Amino acid sequence: MSDSFKCYQQLEEDISFIQKNGISEFEKTQKNREHLLKEMLRNFNEGRSKSYYCIAATVLEIEELKGALTRAKKESDGLDVKRRSKVLHSILDSIAGKKSYCLKLRK
């Protein structure tokens, strides 16, 4: 299983991206990740998922995150925040499982 932390998982990819596209483009992608994380925290955090969502926003692809949020919104419409959180967790866990990522902090 791959480590959950960005510095171990995608450092080389980030450096390559910066070399190819420039630092300003990399900064745009990071701002996009920040926006998606804030949306997860605002709409799906039952009070216990902050670390989980931070890791997901760091290691998953932006399009995967966008798709997960769109799907979670549809599937959790009308549910309370605890059930909305479970829906998003399930979707993110499925994506992470396909990539052999662990979205939980390792202690």
Task: Report pLDDT digits (tens) over 6-38.
Answer: 445 567 888 898 999 999 999 999 999 999 999
Please report, rounded to a whole number, the percentage of residues in the chain having pLDDT higher than 70. 88
pLDDT of res. 58: 87
pLDDT of res. 13: 81
pLDDT of res. 34: 96
Distance CA 55, CA 53 (A): 5
Please report, rounded to a whole number, the percentage of residues in the chain having pLDDT higher than 90. 73
Q: DSSP of 54-72, one letter per residue? A: HHHHHHS-HHHHHHHHHHH
pLDDT of res. 4: 47
pLDDT of res. 107: 55
Q: What are phi and psi of 2, to 5 degrees?
A: -75, 150
